Amino acid sequence: MNLKGQIAIVTAAGQGMGRGIAEKLALEGAFVVVTGRTAEKVQETARIIESKGGKAFAVKADNSKVADIKHMFDECKAHFGAPDILVANVGVMNPMTPLTQITEEDYYQVYEPNAKGTMFCLKEAGLQLKDGGRIVAITSASARNPQKRMGVYSSSKAAIMNMVEVAAQEFADRNIRVNSVLAGLTETPTMLAYLPQPFLKVIAEQTPLKRIGTAEDIAGVVAFLCSADSKWVTGQHIMANGGSICF
């Protein structure tokens, strides 16, 4: 999965899954623009990559703000050049809540970064990625296997799957491939903050591989979809959840 000389943008890369993806792409030779809402966190990710011999540049950008999305593409172009790869990674959650108790604030807290943010990342990528580029959107296994009290999060991630299929068709004439990774339960600060430990334990026990995923598990799948090894794959949703049938 040689990505030598490729230029990649990874959103929400200040920690967890995004950081793991950024590190993996850099390890494979890509120049990585690391973006996220917290400057200190994305700068730390960039330092980690550079300490291992990779090349990275940190950009503070809020995925829910259209102006910030355009800014991170402009900064990529100014620092490394036009991007070859976009990994639209964002996974804002809120506490598990029954549909009858969801508030408008709950909805916007999740939909603004997850659905709106991904939509406008795809728009900007369609304008700025080089021909032959690759886009990978990180969605969730819960988009396909929704669980009770996760209506806002699961539906926001299901929306991303639809966007990926549309983008794959619209960008195909420039040979830009667009896919998604449906991540199962993964050990990230976001997941662990909002999902109760008993729930996590039950899901791990019901997963054929008997554990919760790691950022590295997801990063390997993303790297494959960013590489020439997947040149005949577009408009697809790759499930990476250890074989679980419930999440």
- Cα radius of gyration (the chain): 17
CB 232 within 8 A of CB 224: no
Where helices occur in 80-229 by DSSP H, the ranges are 104-111, 117-128, 151-170, 189-194, 197-206, 215-226
Residue 203 in any domain: the answer is no
CB 247 within 8 A of CB 149: no
Average of pLDDT values for 73-84?
97
DSSP tag of 142:
G
Query: What's the CA gap between 113 and 186, in Å, rounded?
Result: 19
Residue 1 in any domain: the answer is no
Residue 202 in any domain: the answer is no
pLDDT of 67 higher than 80:
yes
Residue 207 in any domain: the answer is no
- Residue 125: give the domain boundaries: 7-186+214-240
Residue 245 in any domain: the answer is no
CB 240 within 8 A of CB 213: yes
Residue 134 in any domain: the answer is yes
Q: Residue 13 sits in a domain of what CATH number?
A: 3.40.50.720
Residue 18 in any domain: the answer is yes
Q: At 194, is the pLDDT very low, low, confident or very high (cuts 50, 70, 90)?
A: low
CB 241 within 8 A of CB 183: yes
CA angle 228, 88, 72 (to 5 degrees): 105
pLDDT of 41 higher than 90:
yes
Q: Which helix (H) or strand (E) holds 24?
A: helix 16-27
Domain count, the chain: 1
Q: What is the pLDDT of residues 109-122, one digit of tens each?
A: 999 999 999 999 99
Q: What is the pLDDT of residues 145-186, one digit of tens each?
A: 888 998 999 999 999 999 999 999 999 999 999 999 999 988
pLDDT of 193 higher than 80:
no
- The label of the residue with tokens 């850099």 reads 26
Average of pLDDT values for 41-50?
98
Q: Residue 238, Cβ neighbours under 10 Å: how many?
A: 18
215-226 vs 16-27: helix axis angle to the nearest 10?
50
Query: What's the CA gap between 135 and 214, in Å, rounded?
Result: 21
Residue 179 in any domain: the answer is yes
Q: At 188, is the pLDDT very low, low, confident or very high (cuts 50, 70, 90)?
A: confident
Quote the tokens at residue 94.
């809120």
Q: What is the pLDDT of residues 143-155, one digit of tens each?
A: 998 889 989 999 9
DSSP tag of 114:
I
The pTM for the full model equals 0.95
pLDDT of 195 higher than 80:
no
